[in-house]
Copies of this chain bind each other. A is one copy, B any other.
Amino acid sequence: MASTYGKFFRVTTWGESHGPALGAVLDGCPAGIEVDEALIQHDLDRRRVGQSKVTSPRNERDNVQILSGVFEGRTTGAPISLITYNADADSTKYDSIRDLYRPGHADYTYTAKWGHRDHRGGGRSSARETWGRVATSSIARALLKQAGIDVYAFTKQIGTIVAERFERDAIEQNLVRCCDPEAAERMVAAIDQIKIEKDSLGGIVEVRAEGVPPGLGEPIADKLDAMIGQAMLSIPATKGVEIGEGFKSAPMRGSQHNDDLYVDESGRVRTRTNHAGGMVGGISNGETIVARVAIKPTSSVSRIQETVDIYGNPREILVEGRHDPCVVPRAVPVVEAMMLLVLADLYLINRMSRVAWEAPNA
């Protein structure tokens, strides 16, 4: 079950960073959803390496091919197989660390678990695996769009620089995908500087979903919050996830944190505030869903580090290869993708909640 997300709208990814190809199979997608290869590619281009000076210089076009499940521009109900072939995988750069474990990487844990060492570019633990998540999330987006749901993510923090303004239109206008154009400039400068210092930066990504109807999420284990928790912490390099006020709710009082209810002019039940981040009791309440994800600084730093080799000897390591000095800008579309996959799954499952009993306020 390792490589499959979702209970009903299910995505299985496969492929290694330096293998011949990467892909994903989406099973459980309803028939009739319009699929536009160009839109999938657009989402993939936001994720790919080599897109700007703040990302890894590895050059992968990441071209998507649809191999099944789409006929005459629409999903058929059959599994949708998407594939891309690796073009610029240069494994020779990894020869020098063939028998070394890189600190901060999954080298040791993969070897400890599976009993062997695939030294080429992180293999399955590489962020390249997220290609399939983003590719299939495009189809989730098309499904959710029909339901009026709009999902977007952006950079909230890089290093110690925090966005202070929110301009949605600004997000895709700067290299770091920050909602605050002024902070974005400082973030780009900070990344330029950290490259010079042969070090790396982390940050925080925020994701929002607007137009989500009340009712999404399945108590108890498959709460909306719980599914977001799993999805976000399945992204490489993430170390935390929070909903609404998140960790800031700990020092609040109940009278501050509770969101009072009212009925708006259209007759919908709404909340005056949105401390809860769009969900109560694990179920969406119709307000904007808000989550934030902590991203650790990239593990690959071009400095001498202490480590051990696969034979158990102490060694020093200098990690070469091509890396992102800060993975946050490329994490934005991945965080967005995971929210899309979570919501598509829960949206479909929610269609089975009721058969006949009318709501008292329906």
- What residues of B have a CB within 8 angstroms of the CB of A31 in the complex? 113-116, 353-355, 357
- What residues of B have a CB within 8 angstroms of the CB of A222 in the complex? 1-2, 234
Contact with B along A236-256 (1 / 0, CB 8 A): 101111111111011111111
Alpha-carbon gap, A199 to B252, bound state (A)? 10
A281 within 8 A of B: yes
Most buried by B among A3, A33, A74, A262: A3
Q: Of all chain B residues, which has the CB nearest A268?
A: B312
A14 within 8 A of B: yes
Alpha-carbon gap, A99 to B360, bound state (A)? 9
Question: Within the complex, what minimum Cβ distance (angstroms) separates A217 from chain B?
Answer: 8
Quick check: B67 and A19 within 8 Å, CB to CB? yes
Question: Within the complex, what minimum Cβ distance (angstroms) separates A61 from chain B?
Answer: 18
A10 within 8 A of B: yes
A20 within 8 A of B: yes
Quick check: A233 and B228 within 8 Å, CB to CB? yes
A265-281, CB < 8 A from B: 267, 269, 271-272, 276-277, 279-281
Question: Within the complex, what minimum Cβ distance (angstroms) separates A13 from chain B?
Answer: 6
Within 8 Å by CB of A4, from B27, B69, B249, B353, lies B27
Quick check: B7 and A254 within 8 Å, CB to CB? no
- What residues of B have a CB within 8 angstroms of the CB of A229 in the complex? 226, 229-230, 232-234, 241
Quick check: B249 and A297 within 8 Å, CB to CB? yes
Alpha-carbon gap, A223 to B232, bound state (A)? 11
Question: Within the complex, what minimum Cβ distance (angstroms) separates A19 from chain B?
Answer: 5
Contact with B along A194-216 (1 / 0, CB 8 A): 10000111111000000000110
A149 within 8 A of B: no
Alpha-carbon gap, A12 to B10, bound state (A)? 11
Contact flag A25-B12 (CB < 8 Å), given A223-B233, A284-B109, A352-B348: yes
Quick check: B281 and A117 within 8 Å, CB to CB? no
- What residues of B have a CB within 8 angstroms of the CB of A117 in the complex? 360
Question: Within the complex, what minimum Cβ distance (angstroms) separates A357 from chain B?
Answer: 3
Question: Within the complex, what minimum Cβ distance (angstroms) separates A109 from chain B?
Answer: 4
Alpha-carbon gap, A218 to B354, bound state (A)? 21
Most buried by B among A2, A123, A280, A295: A2
A60 within 8 A of B: no
A298 within 8 A of B: yes
A146 within 8 A of B: yes
Alpha-carbon gap, A114 to B263, bound state (A)? 20
Task: Given A110-B281, A159-B251, output 8 extra A-B contacts at Cβ < 8 Å.
Answer: A1-B27, A2-B222, A4-B27, A8-B8, A14-B67, A200-B253, A222-B234, A254-B297
26 A-B pairs, CB-CB below 8 angstroms? A3-B79, A15-B67, A21-B68, A22-B68, A31-B115, A31-B116, A77-B113, A101-B269, A105-B280, A106-B280, A109-B215, A109-B283, A111-B360, A111-B361, A113-B354, A115-B358, A124-B219, A125-B219, A157-B250, A239-B244, A239-B245, A246-B294, A249-B297, A260-B305, A260-B306, A267-B312
